[in-house]
Amino acid sequence: MSSCRAAVWTGINRVEVQERTVPAPGPGEVLLRVRAAGICGTDLHILSGTHPQAKPPLVPGHEFAGEVFRTGEGVDASLTGARVGVDSYRGCGECPYCRSGNRQLCEKGTCEFGINIDGGWQEYLVVPVENLYDLPDSVSYLEAGAGCVLNCPMAAVEMVGVDAGDNVLILGDGPSSLVMLQLVRIKGAGKIVVSGHRQRRLKLARELGADQVINTHESGLTDALGELAGRMHVVVDAVGKSETLADALMVAGKRARVHLFGLPEGPLGDLPMDEFLWKELTLTGSTGAPSLWPAAMEYLQQGSLNVSPIISHRFSLEQAREAVDYILSNPLRIVKAVFELS
């Protein structure tokens, strides 16, 4: 085995399956055989050319899982064959953020698989051993390959802080929101409301534990919230647009925590910033949290977090081009798509 296949982003919304040389792991690294790799909303930003850090040609895929195929120098050889998930942030390993387990904040700049270095939409790739986390036997490659819908909402919930009884509003019906609502339920939230405009996802949100869903194409947010408007303790903007962040500030209660989670395509502006003063609001933001993977695995193992219903479509890597075309032309049908590699 000297060559392998990779799905390569070559230009705006263009993906080609190409042959690549299988790399050798260096010191402290392993060669991973990828078994599942997710297709995330962030990947759609990348493919459309609107992600500020991604430039073609690039192998996307910042969420992936597989088995250790070969170990490099200094890595315990008994890891060979281990089922693992991969954290996508490749830090410098030396700065204070990397040393405290916060590689997503590395002082040398973001270096992330599938964003600005080749990622998991390929059969084999080399990853540092410290980026690996163990998959419990009961967690499938497919579930772990859904990746950042597990880790990023964990980071958001941790950062914003959810206390028992808090009313939580999540703006946006993406797959991460469908996980986040389960995480805030685990934290003992009071009323959980999810807003969006994709019927299939809103129905799933109800099934997964949201107390109320709001279709923003059918009714205004404030009207639909009724007496909960101005009484939300936590509001998460999982869309990342000026309009949704403005909505978040307007419906937040006094002393509420507002969290920016959705990936903005650029600076956000024209916001009712005076709300911060009148309501004594706090704003936080998050990207991912490498240290929270084991906790996510534990939730999955216990069954308190259920990600399988969110995985709506599976594709083979050979179908990469069709997969991307399908996802772009069927935004109402897709919830979460994952590449499955044999």
Return the range that interacts with Zn ion (CB under 5 A); candidates 6-14, 91-99, 199-207, 280-288. 91-99
Is residue 95 part of the contact set for Zn ion (CB under 5 A)?
yes
For the segment 9-68, give every residue that binds Zn ion (CB under 5 A): 40, 42
Is residue 287 part of the contact set for Zn ion (CB under 5 A)?
no
Give every CB contact of residue 267 below 8 A, 6+ residues apart in sequence.
none
- In whole angstroms, give the CA distance from residue 165 to residue 257: 14
Residues recognised as catalytic:
42, 45
Among 7, 47, 98, 337, indicate the residue that binds Zn ion (CB under 5 A): 98
Question: Closer CB to Zn ion, residue 146 or residue 246?
Answer: 146
Residue located via tokens 């009884």: 165
Give every CB contact of residue 95 below 8 A, 6+ residues apart in sequence.
106, 107, 108
User: Burial letters for 56-88: b for 16+ Cβ neighbours within 10 Å, e otherwise?
Assistant: eebbbbbbbbbbbbbbbeebeeeeeebbbbbbb
Sign, Cα dihedral of 153, 156, 157, 162:
negative
Among 17, 22, 92, 224, indicate the residue that binds Zn ion (CB under 5 A): 92
Question: Closer CB to Zn ion, residue 38 or residue 196?
Answer: 38
What are residue 127's DSSP bridge partners? Answer: 30
For the segment 291-330, give every residue that binds Zn ion (CB under 5 A): none
Taking alpha carbons only, the member of 21, 131, 121, 122 closest to residue 79 is: 131
Q: Residue 95 CB, nearest distance to Zn ion (Å)? A: 3
Pairing assessment for the beta strands 83-86 and 29-39 based on DSSP bridges: unpaired
- Counting residues that bind Zn ion (by CB under 5 A) gives 8
- Which SS3 state, helix, strand or coil, does residue 339 take? strand
**x-or-dash pattern for Zn ion, window 101-120, by CB under 5 A?**
-----x--------------
Is residue 79 part of the contact set for Zn ion (CB under 5 A)?
no
| H or E element at residue 133 | strand 132-134
Is residue 156 part of the contact set for Zn ion (CB under 5 A)?
no
Q: Residue 191 CB, nearest distance to Zn ion (Å)? A: 27
Is residue 91 part of the contact set for Zn ion (CB under 5 A)?
yes
**Residues engaged in binding Zn ion (CB under 5 A):** 40, 42, 91-92, 95, 98, 106, 148
